[in-house]
Amino acid sequence: METVWFVLVALMLVGYAVLDGFDLGAGVLHLLAARTDAERRLLLESIGPVWDGNEVWLLAAGGTLFYAFPLLYASSFSGFYLPLHMVVWLLVFRAIGIEFRTRLDTRVWCDFFDGAFSLASILLIVVFGAALGNVMRGVSLGPDHYFFAPLWTNFQPGADPGVLDWYTVLCGVVTLVATTVHGALYVAMKTEGPLNARMRSAVQWLWPVLVVLSAVAVPVTVFVRAQLLDNYRAVAAGWLIPILVAAGLAGILYFTRARQERNAFLSSCLYVAATLGGAAFALYPTLLPSSGNPANAITIRNAAAGSHSLSMGLVWWGAGMAIACGYVIVVYSMFKGKVQAGYGEHG
């Protein structure tokens, strides 16, 4: 049951990255690629019906983590106290930027909320990427499985690292580029005209950067934590994951050039899902590695709730996820196709 819940939590986090990733990426491009007020409204309308529903998956993943692996939830939320507060405030400012920007006609306030939406999106992506880097690198867990991570120490990975070091910053940059490409592909799929062309151009400019960063991140991650290759050595099928990552990258470029926008976006979804799936595969059965003594690591064995709770919870989790997935299908079906200026005035 511990393995089942590990897979379920991983799937929910992958789902969040795929779904909320594109509207975070759209936020990065909101000021850079959308040049007029009409284009910025159009960009917001492309994500307007779905962005708030996408964020629910982050809350759902957190709730599932609390239910299945309470020790990990307690340890990470106390250890990453400052970064989690930053995430909450950035989510608030991002939502304020989206909601108020379309409801005010005063230029100065529109500019302010445009900036809030874009800056909060950029910082959220970097923080999420750095968080993933912390999980891959490990944190200074004590014998009681608790820790506290300062924002930075000497900026080097080691036995007592901070939240930020050169490796976690690299993870943040990779995540920023990948999410921006993901968002550009979604907006291109939903819009036409100059904004569509600019989004496709952004993808073609950023694609080589993403390929290089992805190629660099793999050996660097192994250098920081060599144990992450153990599962790949033990299970040969795991090497299919890098192939899927490469296929996603190739599909992004090919379908963007062929003007097949939907397939290009789906290729980006494959890249994001395969990359995070590969990280989860490398970590299993560890949930949070220790940067010092490996015996202090939080695993699915020492962090899981009772077996009876996990078994019973699976029934209710399945029912809840069926409703949530049904909602997603209905919403995305209702708002499929291109958006037009003034369409629905979604916030």
Q: 130, exposed or middle or buried, with CB in 10 Å at 0-12, 13-18, 19+?
A: buried
- State the fold for domain 2-334: Formate dehydrogenase/DMSO reductase fold (1.20.1630)
Q: What is the pLDDT of residues 169-214, one digit of tens each?
A: 999 999 999 999 999 999 999 999 999 999 999 999 999 999 999 9
Give the list of residues 6+ apart from residue 327 with CB closer than 8 angstroms, or none.
53
Residue 191 · residue 46 · CB < 8 Å = yes
Q: What is the pTM of this model?
A: 0.93
Task: Name the token pair of 304.
Answer: 């899981």
Minimal CA–CA distance to 133: which of 105, 106, 162? 162
Predicted confidence band of residue 340 (pLDDT cuts 50, 70, 90): confident
Q: What is the pLDDT of residues 111-152, one digit of tens each?
A: 899 999 999 999 999 999 999 999 999 999 999 999 988 888
Residue 274 · residue 248 · CB < 8 Å = yes
**Can you give the pLDDT at residue 150?**
86
Predicted confidence band of residue 342 (pLDDT cuts 50, 70, 90): low
Give me the helix-helix angle, 37-47 and 166-190, nearest 10°.
100
Which range, of 84-88, 102-106, 180-184, 203-207, averages the lowest pLDDT? Answer: 102-106
Predicted confidence band of residue 56 (pLDDT cuts 50, 70, 90): confident
Task: Name the token pair of 192.
Answer: 């036409």
Predicted confidence band of residue 345 (pLDDT cuts 50, 70, 90): very low
pLDDT of residue 11 exceeding 90, the answer is yes
Extents of the domains making up the chain:
2-334
Q: How many CB atoms lie within 10 A of CB 291?
A: 22
DSSP per residue, 157-189? -SSS--SB-HHHHHHHHHHHHHHHHHHHHHHHH
pLDDT of residue 218 exceeding 70, the answer is yes
CA–CA distance, 131 with 175 (Å, rounded to integer):
11
Mean pLDDT, rounded, of the chain: 91
pLDDT of residue 104 exceeding 80, the answer is no
Partners of 298 in the β-ladder = 288
**Can you give the pLDDT at residue 77?**
87
Estimate to the nearest angstrom the gap between the alpha carbon of 309 and the chain centroid. 29
CA–CA distance, 244 with 190 (Å, rounded to integer):
25
Partners of 299 in the β-ladder = 286
pLDDT of residue 17 exceeding 70, the answer is yes
